[in-house]
Amino acid sequence: MPVSPLSPEALRRRDLPAELQFETTEELEDLEGPLGQARAAEALRLAVTLRSDGYNAYVMGPPGAGKHDLVARTLARAGLEAPTPSDWCYLNDFAEPRRPRAVELPAGRAAELRKDMDRLVDELRAAIPAAFESSDYRTRTQLLEKQLEEAREHAIEEIRRRAEARSVALLRTPMGFGFAPVKDGSVLDPDAFRALPEEAQQRFQRDIAELQAALQETLRAMPELERRHRERVKETNREVAMYAAGHLLDDLRRRYADLPAVLAHLDAVRQDVVENVHEFLTGSADDDAAATMRKLLNQTPALRRYGVNVMVDHAGRSGAPVVYEDLPNLANLAGRVEHHAHFGTLVTDFTLIRPGALHGANGGFLVLDARKLLVQPFAWEELKRALRAREIRIEPPERLFGIGATASLEPQPIPLDVKVVLVGDRWLWQVLSAYDPDFPQLFKVEADFEDWIPRSPQSERDFARLAATLARRDGAPPLERAAVARLLHEASRLAGDAARLTADVAAVRDLVREAGHAAATAGRSRTTGEDVRAAVHAQQRRAGRLREAVREEIRRGTLVVETSGARVGQLNGLSVVTLGRHGFGQPSRISARVRMGKGEVVDLEREVELGGPIHSKGVLILGGFLGARYARESPLSLSASLVFEQSYGGVEGDSASLAELCALLSAIAEVPLRQGVAVTGSVDQLGRVQAVGGVSDKVEGFFEVCRARGLDGAQGVLVPASNVSHLVLRDEALAAMAEGRFRVWAVETVDEAMEVLSGLPAGAVDADGRFPAGSVNARVSARLERFAERARAFAAAGAAPEGDGGRRG
C-alpha cells in the first residue's frame, strides 16, 4: 500500500481556543511571571523562603526565557514581605585606628548619627577655640607661663645671689653660663686675677667650682620643672575642652541612650577630643604658608576621625533590599579600602572604606550573573568564603595573593545574612557542580527553566496574556486576535514542534515590538496578524543574505539540484544552515555508486575528513542494513561510495542516512528515483525511519527551490512519520499543499520511502526469503547475488576481484 501524502488539514495552523474570547489584547490581564516556568518559579520560591544555610539559588535555562525577570519579580515580592535590615557603619577605633569598628544601628539611624557627628565636629571647632580664646583661659595659661619663668629665673637668680655673695659674677654668654671673679663691679682680667694672693685665687677657684656644680644641678632640674608646667597646661586644656565639649556630647548621649555601641563611641570621642584639643585650635591667627600647611596636615585627621562612615543606609526603606551587581568584581562585591594622596603619600583611614554589593544586599537578596562573577579574579572565592563564614570581610586583593606587606586597614567584619541568586548557563552549572565541591553545598536550589512549553488551551491562554503584557510594557499597540494566533504559530515554529511553544520570551517580545512598530508606522492603533507576518518576513529577510545567495546559485545551476525527472543513484537530501537565531533548509545532492567489492560502503565525506562521527555512524548503519536484509547467507560482494555532491564544508548528523540509503538502493537496483522529492530522516539497521531535527526548515527549504522553478505538482518532501508533529509550516507551503502543488509524505520505513521515490512496490520477503519479482527489493537482491556469483567466479579462477569498471551502478 503506497504511502499517501499528508493532508494539508493535518498541518493547518491551529486557532486560538474558542473559550478565549477577545478582540484585542487590551482586554487581557497581564501574565504574572514567565510563561510555563512553574518548576523554576517553585524552586526560586523555595530558595527565598527557606532561610537555612546553603539555600541559595542557581537559575539557569535558555536565553530569553525571562530568568532575570522571574528572579526580579520573585525577589521584589519576597523583599517587601521581609523585615528591613539594620544599618551598618564604620567608626574609628581610637585605641587601634587600624581596625575600624563595625557598628549596627536600627534602619535609618546610621545617616542620622553621621549628621550628628558632623555637626558635633563643627560645633567643637567653634566652641573649643572660643573657650581657649577666653580671657579666663589666657589669664590661666599666662599665669602658668609666668610661674615657669619665675621658677626658672628664681633658680638662676639664687645662683647669682650666691655668686655675688662670694664676689663672683654670673655671666650669660652665647656659649652658656660662666662664673668670673669681680672687683668693683667688673670682671677681673686675667692679669689682675693672677696678681691676687694665692689664697684668694684658690678661694675663687673653689667657689666657682661649687657654683658651677650648683648651676649644673639647677639646670638638671629644669626639665622636670618644664614637664610639670606642661602637665599643668595640659590639665587646664583638658578642663577647658571638657567645658566646651561636654554639654555637646551629653546632648548626643541622650539622643543615643538606647544604643550602647554609640554611647561607648561617644565616650571614646570625649576622651580623644580632650586629649587632642590642640587640633581644634590650629591656625586661628596664622595666615602664612607654613601655618596653612600645618592647618591642612592637622585638620584632616581631626575632622575625619570623629566622623561616621555609613556602609549601609536603609533610611526610608520598607522591606529587605534586592541588589543586582552588574560588575561583580572583588571590590564591588565585598567592598574596598580606598586611599588618597596626601602630600605625596597614599593614606587611608576608616572613612575610605567603601561598601560592596554584599553590604547593600545584607539582610536581603543579591542577584549576580554567574559568568560575570566567575571571570573576575577572587570574586567567586570571596563570595563563597563570605557565605560560608557568614561575614563580610574587606581584604585588599594583594593580601589575598599573600604578598601584602603595606600597612592597611583591617575593618571589623560585618555579619552577613544574604540570599544569593546566580543566573547563568546550564553548562556552567554542570561545570561548577562537577568541579567545585563547595558549589552544591552553597547553592542547593537549582531553578531550571524549560526550553519549551507544551501547547495546551491553558498555555495558549497564558501566551495570549503574555502577548498582552509585552505589548503594554513596550508601549506597542495591542494585538488583534489574529495577530496573537499568528504569534502562537511562530512560537511553535521557534519551538520546532507544533505541540509546543518556545520558552524564548525575548524572541516573542521582539516580534511583538517589531509587528507593533509596523502597525504604529502605518498609523494603526492595533497590531494585526498581517503585521506579525510582515515582521516575521522582515526578520527572515534581514537574516536571509546567505539563504538567498544559496538559492540564487541553485537557480543558476552553479549548485546542481534537480527538482524534476528521475535518476539512478541520486537523490536530494536536506540540511539546515543555522545563522544566529535563524536557520534555513537547503537541498543537497546525494549520490551513490556501486560496484563489485568486499562488502564496504565508503563514506567519501569521512574519507576526506569532512564527515562528523554521527554522520559516519549513519553510513555504517547502512552497511549493516544491506548485509542483514540482502546478504544473510552469502558475502556482500559490494563496494559502494556515497557522497554529498558540491559539499565543501563539514557534514554532521545522521538526518541524511535515509536519503543515502535510498540513493544506494537505487544504485544497486538500478531503479531511477524521482528528483522532485527530497528526503530527510535517519534509519536504523532494520530499515525503520527515525525522527530528525529542523523538519519545517527543511521542507520549506526544498519548497522554496521548487517554487522558484515552478511547482509541477509532483514535488514534495519525504519526512519521518515521527516528525509530523514537529511540522509547523508557513503559509506559502501550506497553501501549495492545499492546492495539490506540493506534497509531504510521512514514512515509517525505507521501503515506504523507496515506493514513493521509485513508484515501484518495495516488495516484502516471502517464506523462502525471496522478494516478489519486479519489486525494488527483488532488484537489489538480484544485483547483489550477481556480484556475489562473479566474486566467487573470480575467486575460483584465482584472480583478485575487480570492480565492474565503467558500468553504470
CB of 128 vs another protein, minimal distance in Å: 18
Cβ count near 692 (within 10 Å) = 23
Please give the distance of CA 462 from its chain centroid, rounded to a whole number.
Answer: 29
Q: Is 345 a binder of another protein (CB under 8 A)?
A: no
Q: Report the first-to-last Cα separation within the chain, whole angstroms.
A: 28
Q: Which residue lies nearer to another protein by CB, 142 or 318? A: 142
Q: Which is nearer to another protein, 186 or 458 (CB)?
A: 186
Minimum CB separation of residue 284 from another protein in Å reads 11
Per rule CB under 8 A, is residue 131 in the interface with another protein?
Answer: no
Among 21, 173, 345, 521, binds another protein (CB under 8 A): 173
Q: Does 176 bind another protein (CB under 8 A)?
A: yes
193 makes contact with another protein (CB under 8 A): yes
The alpha carbons of the chain give a radius of gyration, in whole angstroms, of 48
The angle that helices 695-709 and 731-738 make with each other, rounded to 10 degrees, is 70
What is the spatial distance between Cα 139 and Cα 145, in angstroms, rounded to a whole number? 10
Among 335, 350, 440, 272, CA closest to 103? 350
Nearest distance from residue 279's CB to another protein, in Å? 21
Q: How far apart are CA 10 and CA 4, in angstroms?
A: 13
Q: Which is nearer to another protein, 133 or 552 (CB)?
A: 133
* 588, 655, 682, 775: the active-site residue: 655
- Report residue 786 as a C-alpha cell: 550477481
8 A C-beta contact, residue 794 and residue 705: no
Selecting among 698, 758, 775, 781, the annotated active-site residue is 698
Min dist CB 103 to another protein, Å, is 43
Out of 53, 149, 164, 338, the residue judged to bind another protein by CB under 8 A? 149
Site string for another protein, 153-172 (x = CB under 8 A): x---------------x-xx
- Kindly tell me which residue out of 1, 19, 29, 135 binds another protein, with binding defined by CB under 8 A: 135
Other C-beta atoms closer than 10 Å to the C-beta of 33 total 18
Minimum CB separation of residue 172 from another protein in Å reads 6
Asked whether position 177 contacts another protein by CB under 8 A, the answer is: yes
Given 4, 7, 49, 216, the residue binding another protein (CB under 8 A)? 216
Residue from the set 98, 119, 138, 230 that interacts with another protein by CB under 8 A: 138
Query: Of the listed pieces 135-143, 386-394, 443-451, 504-512, which binds another protein according to CB under 8 A?
Result: 135-143
- Per-residue interface string for the shown chain with another protein, residues 219-238, x marking contact by CB under 8 A: xx-xx---------------
**147 scored as a contact of another protein (CB under 8 A):** no
Judged by CB under 8 A, the residue of 152, 228, 255, 372 near another protein is 152
> Does the footprint of another protein cover residue 98 (CB under 8 A)?
no
**Identity of residue 612:** G
Name the H helices within 567-721: 604-607, 613-630, 657-669, 695-709
Among 139, 271, 406, 430, binds another protein (CB under 8 A): 139
DSSP assignments along 105-162, one per residue: E-TTHHHHHHHHHHHHHHHHHHHHHHHHHSHHHHHHHHHHHHHHHHHHHHHHHHHHHH
Other beta carbons less than 10 A from residue 287's beta carbon: 8
Judging by DSSP bridges, how do beta strands 570-579 and 582-596 pair with one another? Answer: antiparallel
Give the nearest distance from C-beta 268 to another protein in angstroms: 35
Closest separation between CB of residue 393 and another protein, Å?
Answer: 51
Contacting range for another protein; rule: CB under 8 A; set: 56-64, 202-210, 475-483, 548-556: 202-210
Per rule CB under 8 A, count of chain residues that contact another protein: 39
Whether 578 and 569 have beta carbons less than 8 Å apart is answered as no
DSSP-derived letter for residue 27 is G
Residue closer to another protein by CB (options 183, 247) is: 183
655 catalytic per annotation:
yes
Could you give the 3-state DSSP secondary structure of residue 456? coil
391 close to 448: Cβ distance less than 8 angstroms = no
Closest Cα to residue 699, out of 642, 737, 658, 664?
Answer: 737
Of 621, 582, 583, 630, the C-alpha closest to 603 is: 621
The 3-class SS string of 79-94 reads HHHCCCCCEEEEECCC
Whose CA is closest to 407, among 97, 90, 103? 97
User: Cβ–Cβ contacts within 10 Å for residue 145, how many?
Assistant: 12
Spatial separation of the C-alpha atoms in residues 670 and 808, rounded to whole Å = 8
Q: State the minimum distance, in angstroms, from the CB of residue 161 to another protein.
A: 16
Shortest Cβ distance from residue 221 to another protein (Å)?
9
Residue closer to another protein, measured from CB, 282 or 616: 282
Q: Residues near 354 by Cβ (< 8 Å), separated by ≥ 6?
A: 331, 335, 336, 337, 338
The region of 133-141, 331-339, 537-545, 605-613 touching another protein under the rule CB under 8 A is 133-141
User: Counting contacts by CB under 8 A, is residue 215 touching another protein?
Assistant: yes
What residue ranges bind another protein (CB under 8 A)?
Answer: 135, 138-139, 142, 145-146, 148-149, 152-153, 169, 171-181, 186-190, 193-194, 205, 208-209, 212, 215-216, 219-220, 222-223
Catalytic residues: 655, 698
